[in-house]
């Protein structure tokens, strides 16, 4: 078992206080957006044996287990994060595995540099995600029913939104959502900036269901993503609740602190709320134009006290233990690799004492117990 020393990424949208508060340290005044735990080459966790990338590369079957290596190759297939959103993230979707492989191969054939700002596919993997709230957490997830979206837009009383309202009423669900998003992203920039300004003023004036979108618009004046965001479900998670974000589902995190786990990939297609590249044709190829409930997840408790967030993929499995004062130890030994993360209280993981924000890597098959009083998240894989 290895204690992890993890990197905090200072993305501009990060909260300046949430991660420092969790760790019990003084804020620096700079944004601290994500703390990464895992073996992503961009910011691998460090151990006394070297980086987690190096540790795994030296003995993949010993660290990951034979079944995980056979299933996913000689790499840790997930990345665990603490995410602290102080401002909205970009409106985005992720490709499925086939789309990622095709897109990556195409850009490699065309010689697009992997660090080029217009590159869509950094790797050949998909990027399903799960976000679990540690505080109240706001986000956008999936399309509203087109009629609901039309009513929301119409309620703003902005004349330039009427063509979108008419499109949402005039077609079957998939065609309506596709045509409206295409029209929004293809609009004349000057016309769209005026529409966004009028929409922002109306959202601010009306409040209520419009209040989250007024906040988004404050951060991204003139951005067509403000209008696109109104097509999506607004979700407010309470601590312990989670969202699973599969391929093709448009989403954005708005504010709050959470534990996020994802397949080990960097593939993101943006559709707004960003100064970065937006590839509209590729985006429209990947988006799933399906309306539906966001599907808030609550953990399912097992007899041994483990609470599991069930998802339909194998690259990661997230669960938690809420350990009461004076409770018995829990055996968490598995034949797959694990990261154990404390988010509250004081716990013992093997020989390591962990406070909030501290974590350990547990190689496959290594004996592991947790005890104490606090909350421990457990990340592993399904094989």
Active site residues: 270
Write down the residue that tokens 């457990």 correspond to: 378
Write down the residue that tokens 């922002």 correspond to: 200
Cβ 333 vs Cβ 365: under 8 Å: yes
List of residues 6+ apart from 40 with CB closer than 8 A: 79, 264
CA distance 5 to 3: 7
- HEC profile of 147-213: HHHHHHHHCCCCHHHHHHHHHHHHCCHHHHHHHHHHHHHCCCHHHHHHHHHHHHHHHHHHCHHHHHH
Write down the residue that tokens 């233990």 correspond to: 321
The two three-digit tokens of residue 169, written as one number: 């009423």
CA distance 332 to 226: 44
Cβ 22 vs Cβ 356: under 8 Å: yes
The radius of gyration of the chain's CA atoms, rounded to the nearest angstrom, is 22
CA distance 260 to 263: 10
CA 112, 114, 116, 117 dihedral sign is positive
216 φ, ψ to 5°?
-60, -45
Cβ 77 vs Cβ 315: under 8 Å: yes
């Amino acid at each position: 078992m290895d204690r992890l020393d993890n990197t905090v990424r200072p993305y501009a949208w990060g909260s300046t206080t949430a991660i420092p508060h969790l760790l019990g340290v003084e804020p620096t005044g700079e944004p601290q957006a994500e703390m990464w735990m895992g073996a992503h080459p961009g910011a691998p966790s460090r151990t006394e044996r070297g980086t987690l990338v190096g540790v795994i590369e030296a003995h993949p079957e010993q660290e990951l287990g034979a079944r995980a290596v056979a299933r996913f190759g000689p790499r840790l297939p997930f990345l665990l994060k603490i995410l602290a959103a102080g401002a909205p993230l970009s409106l985005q979707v992720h490709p499925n595995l086939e789309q990622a492989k095709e897109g990556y191969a195409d850009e490699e054939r065309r010689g697009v540099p992997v660090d080029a700002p217009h590159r869509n596919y950094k790797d050949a993997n998909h990027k399903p995600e799960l976000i679990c709230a540690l505080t109240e957490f706001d986000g956008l997830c999936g399309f509203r029913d087109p009629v609901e979206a039309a009513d929301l837009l119409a309620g703003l009383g902005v004349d330039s939104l009427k063509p979108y309202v008419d499109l949402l009423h005039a077609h079957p669900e998939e065609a309506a959502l596709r045509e409206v998003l295409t029209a929004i992203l293809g609009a004349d920039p000057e016309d769209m900036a005026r529409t966004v300004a009028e929409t922002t003023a109306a959202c601010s004036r009306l409040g209520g269901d419009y209040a989250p979108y007024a906040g988004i618009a404050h951060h991204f004046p003139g951005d067509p993503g403000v209008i696109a965001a109104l097509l999506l479900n607004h979700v407010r998670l309470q601590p312990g609740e989670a969202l699973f974000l599969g391929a093709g589902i448009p989403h954005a995190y708005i504010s709050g602190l959470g534990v996020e786990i994802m397949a080990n990939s960097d593939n993101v297609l943006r559709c707004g709320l960003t100064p970065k590249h937006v590839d509209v044709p590729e985006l429209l190829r990947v988006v799933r134009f399906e309306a539906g409930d966001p599907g808030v997840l609550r953990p399912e408790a097992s007899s041994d006290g483990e609470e599991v967030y069930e998802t339909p993929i194998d690259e990661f499995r997230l669960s938690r233990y809420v350990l009461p004062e004076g409770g018995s130890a829990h055996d968490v030994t598995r034949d797959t690799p694990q990261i154990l993360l404390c988010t509250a209280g004081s716990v013992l993981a093997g020989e390591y004492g962990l406070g909030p924000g501290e974590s350990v890597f547990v190689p496959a098959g290594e004996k592991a117990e947790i005890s104490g009083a606090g909350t421990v998240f457990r990340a592993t894989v399904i094989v």
